[in-house]
Amino acid sequence: MKTKLTILSLSAVALIVLFMTYHVMGNWDYVLPSRGRKLAAILITGAVIAVSTVVFQSITNNRILTPSILGLDSLYMLIQTFGVYALGSSNMTFMNKNVNFLFSACIMVLFSGVLYKLMFRREGQNIYFLLLVGLIMGTMFQSASSFMEVLIDPNEFLILQGKMFASFNNVSSDLLILSTVVLALTTLYFMRFVKYLDVISLGKDEAINLGINYDYVVKRLLVIVSIYVSISTALVGPITFLGLLVANVGHQLFRTYKHAYLIPGTILLSIIALVGGQFLVERVFGFTTTVSVIINFAGGVYFVYLLLKENKSW
């Protein structure tokens, strides 16, 4: 197990070095800060998406779910579409990025808060019920966005299209610092619950039997997960299936229930996928596609494979 982690860490570091130094041609002053920002954005979102998916899957006892289906991605798109539709793309670009970030993140956290409140009001609610409602809301947001999308002028649509897919290219340093602070605080809070994760993955009855205040812990974990997802989505845009991809590869690779290995392993996988993907996009595809499109594609295909394979874990 430890060797696997070491190998993963080494590959991640090697990829990062390659990414930072490839084809610099002496322009260190320009290249380093610009790639450094990209890298920071990748590290943050990669880690956050990995952790939130692993935690989410342990809570739901299910390997084919991801927090993206809480409807947050679609909500983000609705906010962005509405922004472009109502204010126009030029105003949208001029609109302070920080304001947009904070506004979107807050709305998303608020939405999931309200969703949880409504769903957990009645005792004994099935968590799948919560997810289904989230997903339905997501479909509704999508209908609303596509209604506006068609009304938008094709030129403005291009601006919007840029936001539909996660991109690490234009993340400003202020935003990076801001989201790092928020995430660090959230993670500090999350640390209190880490020790419960192994037991929670056994299932509700077992967890209660082993003395976990189940409802209390799960609600807090869900809030943490939605803060994570909101921040990463607001920072770079939606990458729906990255979490699904890396969490499942992580489970396959480590074959353990121990989150002490699963979480770092999945974080590393996620970083490898993103740095590698970004490298491919820049050097091989020459920016004709985006990382999130590639990863969603790969993740999606892998997921269908998982579903069709006979499997006991869900």
Window 239-258: residues binding another protein (CB under 8 A): 240-241, 255-257
Residue 165 touches another protein, criterion: CB under 8 A: yes
CA distance 182 to 48: 12
Site string for another protein, 222-241 (x = CB under 8 A): ------------------xx
Q: Which of 211, 284, 286, 287 binds another protein (CB under 8 A)?
A: 211
Using the contact rule CB under 8 A, the part of the chain among 6-14, 34-42, 99-107, 142-150 near another protein is 142-150
Nearer to another protein, 29 or 123 (CB): 123
**Ranges of H-type helices in 22-126:** 28-60, 72-87, 89-94, 97-120
CA distance 87 to 70: 27
Q: How far is the CB of 211 from another protein (least distance, A)?
A: 3
DSSP letter for 23, please. Answer: T
**Ranges of H-type helices in the chain:** 2-21, 28-60, 72-87, 89-94, 97-120, 127-151, 154-164, 173-194, 197-200, 204-209, 214-236, 242-254, 259-279, 291-308
How many residues in the shown chain lie near another protein by CB under 8 A?
73
Residue 305 touches another protein, criterion: CB under 8 A: no
Residue list 52-71, contact with another protein (CB under 8 A): 61-62, 64-65, 69
Residue 266 touches another protein, criterion: CB under 8 A: no
Nearer to another protein, 43 or 246 (CB): 246
Q: Which of 117, 195, 252, 280 binds another protein (CB under 8 A)?
A: 195
Residue 157 touches another protein, criterion: CB under 8 A: yes
CA distance 238 to 243: 11
Q: How far is the CB of 171 from another protein (least distance, A)?
A: 20
Say if residues 112 and 141 touch (Cβ distance below 8 Å). no
Residue 154 touches another protein, criterion: CB under 8 A: yes
Angle between helices 214-236 and 173-194 (to 10 degrees): 160
Residue 193 touches another protein, criterion: CB under 8 A: no
Nearer to another protein, 26 or 211 (CB): 211
Q: How far is the CB of 106 from another protein (least distance, A)?
A: 23
Give Cα separations from 304 to 71, 234, 253, 298, 299 (angstroms): 20, 27, 19, 10, 9
CA distance 126 to 287: 43
Residue list 109-138, contact with another protein (CB under 8 A): 122-126, 128-129, 131-133, 135-137
